[in-house]
A and B are shown apart, each in its own frame.
Chain A
């Protein structure tokens, strides 16, 4: 059994090394956020704070409107997520259960939109949004992202997996499509909605280029833009910057802890078993 022990040891060695490398940047952020300014700016760099100094969190909250940034990001990703859930499940229902001429073609067209990277359309979209006076507004931040081809695809997969007999029974009982959609298909496709919700929220919480382009006032900045500007303003006060980073990371980490299992199973189903 010797090779087995060796192998297990090697496996743990690899896991531990990888874990240290992956955790190290997180640790840098956390430990610096607890240091005093002089501690975080010493050389050689300290790996552990000497005391639990929580002032940084209070200070960063007064130094920059980080709460406002977080609220902006929450509103933006929240609106987009709800919008995605609505538009995607509606479109998916039509593709899964309604019969109409040109259905296949239209579905192919929807799928084709996944091949258009957002960056390609960014210039005309910027010009459109600017001409509507939507710079520095929630409308500008959210409306362009409300529809999602990926979400439509994902929800259609979930709808198609629902038992056919159930749908037929509802039809025979005289249920119309709107009623079936609202009180049968949607509740049954909850796992799909949850997957799409987590995916869409995280994705748009992390958006960078678009908010950078269309927000100019500090009031409308999202977390991602706000936090990267923080580092230019307070170049030397790493402890403050890192306290800000930790505050911003908290919601994402929470989302991850809640939604991880969902995301794993759901995304691979949607992505691969088409």
Chain B
């Protein structure tokens, strides 16, 4: 390593240059210090706002707490027992599951159909691509407020259209049988942009010559889609499903704005229930227990994704 012919030494380089010349062990040490320097901000922040809270959640969940958030006394697994004994929490688990069932398959199938059509070279697909990705710009609060107007029982457009078609009006947000469906409709609309973009990206990752050769072999668009596109982008579909499921588990804003968990707890999803318990009723212990249940559920989904998602990646 003869560097005598190296570029003229500028003052700024001098320090690091000398480091390169250090003996091997010292250089390793130098690199270690450097690495820690590069990593320090992230490690510090993760420590304070992620790992510490995770441990603190476990600690809080086995204690009863005062409304100020201070620990009152150790109560073991009582918080968890109470959760699973009360129909309230089980209901909210069930509602979350139903919500997932209403939103995830619907939005993925819709996004798949739209992405499949937009991938082809029909004229005008550029415009449609832009339109279909528009919901990406919607945040949960702007989306919720717009749909609140659409859902309005007497002045809203949805009921007007229903009645114009000769159908009875629906109490979208106040009928326990409809509220979760209404929230789901709004959520599918809101998530469609992201899923469309994701799946379209996956489809465009498939090399064009594969489609070309399928066409040459005389395969129609339907067959190409089912036998070629779907298996080839299965990793993307899988990724989209798992992130959507996790997203469904984390839903909060639309429920907080549109229904407040009601009517009759029919939209009281997990995170909303947690919010109520911890930040409205100030039961931080019970809230933490719920947070841990949520953590385990999402962990299971993530592990499934890693286990099966990785294996299924087959581009060619």
**Hey, which bits of chain A sit against chain B, CB under 8 A?**
7-8, 11-12, 14-15, 18-19, 21-23, 25-26, 28-29, 32, 41-45, 47, 86-88, 90-91, 93-94, 98-101, 103, 106, 110, 113-128, 130, 143-147, 149, 152, 171-179, 181, 202, 205-206, 208-209, 212-213, 223-225, 227-228, 230-231, 238, 241-242, 245, 248-249, 252-253, 255-256, 260, 263-265, 267-268, 271-272, 274
Contact = CB atoms under 8 A, between A and B. Distances in A.
B54 interface: yes
A100 B32 CA distance: 5
Contacts of A271: 198, 239
Given A224-B140, A265-B201, A271-B239, A123 B155 contact: no
Given A88-B42, A94-B38, A176-B13, A8 B122 contact: yes
A204 to B, nearest CB: 11
Interface stretch (B80-88, B98-106, B211-219, B288-296): B288-296
B284 interface: yes
Contacts of B44: 147
A12 B122 contact: yes
27 contacts: A8-B122, A14-B113, A15-B128, A18-B114, A22-B132, A94-B34, A99-B31, A113-B46, A120-B57, A120-B292, A121-B291, A128-B48, A128-B53, A172-B6, A175-B16, A177-B34, A209-B252, A209-B271, A213-B279, A224-B139, A228-B141, A245-B145, A253-B137, A256-B133, A264-B200, A271-B239, A274-B310
B295 A120 contact: yes
- 10 cross-chain pairs, A with B, having the tightest CB-CB distances, nearest first: A176-B16, A124-B53, A147-B45, A121-B53, A268-B201, A206-B139, A94-B38, A124-B56, A252-B137, A208-B253
Contact of A152 (B42, B198, B205): B42
Contacts of B271: 119, 209
B213 to A, nearest CB: 20
Contact of A101 (B32, B200, B284): B32
Contact of A173 (B6, B15, B113): B6
A23 B287 contact: no
Interface size class of B (residues with CB under 8 A): 35 or more
Task: State the majority secondary structure of interface residues on B.
Answer: helix
Given A23-B134, A231-B145, A255-B137, A147 B42 contact: yes
Given A242-B149, A272-B236, A22 B135 contact: yes
Nearest to B148: A231
Interface string B263-293: 0000000010011001100001001100110
Nearest to A248: B142
A241 B145 contact: yes
A120 B3 contact: no
B57 A121 contact: yes
A223 B140 CA distance: 11
B173 interface: no
Contacts of A144: 45, 49
Contacts of A172: 1, 3, 6
A53 B114 CA distance: 35
A173 B136 contact: no
A206 B139 CA distance: 5
B253 A209 contact: yes
B225 to A, nearest CB: 12
Nearest to B132: A22
Given A206-B140, A227-B145, A176 B250 contact: no
Nearest to B205: A268
Contacts of B145: 227-228, 230-231, 241, 245
A100 B201 contact: no
Interface in B123-139: 124-125, 128, 130-139
Given A116-B295, A128-B48, A231-B148, A91 B38 contact: yes
Contacts of A274: 310
A119 B291 contact: yes
B41 A117 contact: no
Contacts of A253: 134, 137
A202 to B, nearest CB: 7
A267 B141 contact: no
Contacts of A41: 155
A110 to B, nearest CB: 7
Contact of B50 (A22, A91, A119, A121): A121
Contacts of A241: 145, 149
B7 interface: yes
B204 to A, nearest CB: 8
B140 A208 contact: yes
Nearest to B47: A147
Given A45-B155, A238-B149, A265-B201, A19 B128 contact: yes
B25 interface: no
B183 to A, nearest CB: 14
Given A120-B54, A272-B313, A11 B122 contact: yes
B139 A252 contact: yes
Contacts of A143: 45, 49
